[in-house]
Structures are given as C-alpha cells and as structure tokens.
Amino acid sequence: MTKQNLTYRFFIFLFFVISYGCQHKTANEGLNISSKIESVKTSKKIIKKRSVVEKPAVIYRSNDMGLTWSSFANGIPNDATLSGIKQLGNKVYVTTDYHGVFVTSNGQDNWTALNFERLKKLDINCIEGDVNKLIIGTLSHGTFVSNNGGLSWKQSKKNIENSPVRAFIKTEKKLYVGTDSGIFESFDMGDTWSHAFGQMQILGFTSLGDKIYAATQNGALVCNGNSSSWKSIYKGDALHDIGNDGKYVYAMTIGQQLLKTKNDGELWENAQSGIIQPQNYYTNELKHIGNNIFSAQWIGIYHSSNNGNSWRILNGLPDSTAFSTLEITDFGIIAGISIR
C-alpha cells in the first residue's frame, strides 16, 4: 500500500471520528435543551399553581372562640354573599343577596335552600323570626313572611313596598323594622306594619337592658320602650350599624371610626385601637359573648376582651376579605363575607 493511500485512509477515518463526535454532542445538547424546556415548563406550572389564591368561602365558623376557623358553606353557591344570620332553636338561617335563604340544623355543615325559586331574585337584607314564623326584609320588595319554616312565602299584607328594609329587632310585644323611611312596628310578626318614628334611613338596631338603640344616616337614637319616644344620642355622622357588649353601646360610624358610650351619649370614647384598616372603611358588625367581643371588618375579624379598649385581628381567615355579617350561636361563631 502506498504512502499516499495510507494518508488518504487516515483522513477518511479522522472524518468519521469527528462526525460521530459532533453528532453525539449535538444529540446530547438537544436532550439538554429539551430537558431545560420541560424544566422551565414545569417550573412555570408550579409557579402558576402556587400563585393561585384559593377563593374565600361564603361562610366561616369557629368553635373555639376565634382561635381557629373553617369553611362552613356546604350547599351555598360559591358566588353568594351573606346579608344576615339568625339562630332560632336548633336551626340557623342565613340570607343572601339574590341567592335566597338557607337553613341548617344542629350545627351541621349542610345548608338547604328555602324555596329558592321564590326568593332568588330578591336582594335580601335581614331576617328575624320565632318558632312559628320567619320574616325577611328586602331592598326593593318590602317584607315577606313564612308560616311553615320557609317552604312558602308571602308579602306582608300592609307592606313597606316603597322603602328599602335594612334591619329588624324583636321585643316581647312587637317587631321593629328599620327602613329608608324611618322605623315601623308590627304586633303580628310582620303580617302588618305601621309607621312608628322618623323619616330618616335606619341601618341597624341593638338592645341593652330595657332600651333599644338605632343606627341612622344622621347618628344614633335610643328608645325606652315607647315607640314614639326615640331621641338622639349622637349626631354629625352616619352610622353603618350599632351594637353592644353588655356594658357599652358601640356606634359603627362611617367617618369617626368605632365609638362607644356607657351613658347614652353623654360621653363617646374612641374604640378603634388595634383595628388597622384602610381609610374611610368602618366596622360592619359587632357581637359579644361574656367579656369577649368580636367585630366584622372590611379586612378580617377582630377580638377584644377589654370592652373595646384594644383589638387584635384573628388568624386563620383569608386575607383582604370583607366580613359583613357576624353572629354568635350555640354552634359557634359564624361570619359571612360580602366582598372578595
């Protein structure tokens, strides 16, 4: 074999070695790039999954005085918002905006709609009742009563059709309702109504001792039992609602934050310490059991054990969620949301 042939064969061999090496490297690089792409895709999926915030439940409940909370909304549509909570015997009722009324028995997390087709188009604001009758107040259609546990409903005979209904409070002898046209009263649990006082917007009630207090668009009122003897105890600001802790009456003002009085308005004290929330937001509702006070806020639920001198936010609830309704029942503290 000549030297020229040996040189020729050497170069052919070298060519195949280099080609194989390049192809192998290219294939490995291709595998590495594909692995990186899949890794990036997987990472994006994980990031996306982690960034998804779980939608808040419609209702939360605590059975340990607010230490822990859990969803309590089985059977209620996910897009519903609560407007009222009421316990009657072993049943708890909740009202919603345009989703009707729901009931559960013995604290079970299993809600049932009451005649949904009749009520689904109503913007319901409040509920009251006794063992034999339920009554709901609506934004645009007055009041409705049920004599069979919510299976059927009818409008009150002498209805309050032209004025939004905001709140109820029941005494031993009568039922009061707050409307945009003042306070009305009923001696037959809402079958008929008569005007009792004022022409202003009434947004909430609370009772302490033998007195009834009302939140109005212009402040707060108190009544000693005579339906025509309401008098002003606070002026100058609108109240979203009014409540008490067994000692103090709390005015949930829209402009002056949370205030309290123990002498029917002779002196009002600031009760906002510890409640951190955006400017112009206000307390939505306040309830108490013994010395423990709970308040529903635009962001979270707060607790006080010293008559509202200081508050702390409770853990275990979704962030940035507005709680509009709050009730202390035999089956736990129940809180409902209004805005997500």
Please check whether residue 204 is in contact with residue 215, taking contact to mean a CB–CB distance below 8 angstroms. Answer: yes
Taking 60 as the threshold, does the pLDDT of residue 28 lie above it?
no
Q: Percentage of residues in the chain with pLDDT exceeding 70?
A: 82
Paired tokens of 5:
């042939």
| 8 Å CB contact between 164 and 180 | yes
DSSP assignments along 272-306, one per residue? -TT----TT----EEEEETTEEEEE-SSSEEEESS
203-261 pLDDT per residue, tens: 999 999 999 999 999 999 999 866 678 999 999 899 999 999 999 999 999 988 999 99
C-beta of residue 80 within 8 angstroms of C-beta of residue 96: yes
Residue 123's CB is within 10 A of a number of other CB atoms, namely 14
Q: Is the pTM of this model over 0.75?
A: yes
* Alpha-carbon separation of residue 259 from 13, 53, 60, 218 (angstroms): 94, 35, 27, 15
Lowest mean per-residue pLDDT among 126-135, 153-162, 318-327: 153-162
Cα angle vertex 247, ends 242, 251, to 5°? 20
**Pair 287, 326: CB distance under 8 Å:** yes
* Separation between Cα atoms, residue 243 and residue 221, nearest integer Å: 12
Rounded to an integer, what is the distance from CA 259 to the centroid of its chain?
A: 22
CATH 3.20.19.10 assigned to domain 59-339? The reply is: no
- Give the tens place of pLDDT for each residue, 48-59: 333 334 678 999
CB 102 within 8 A of CB 76: yes
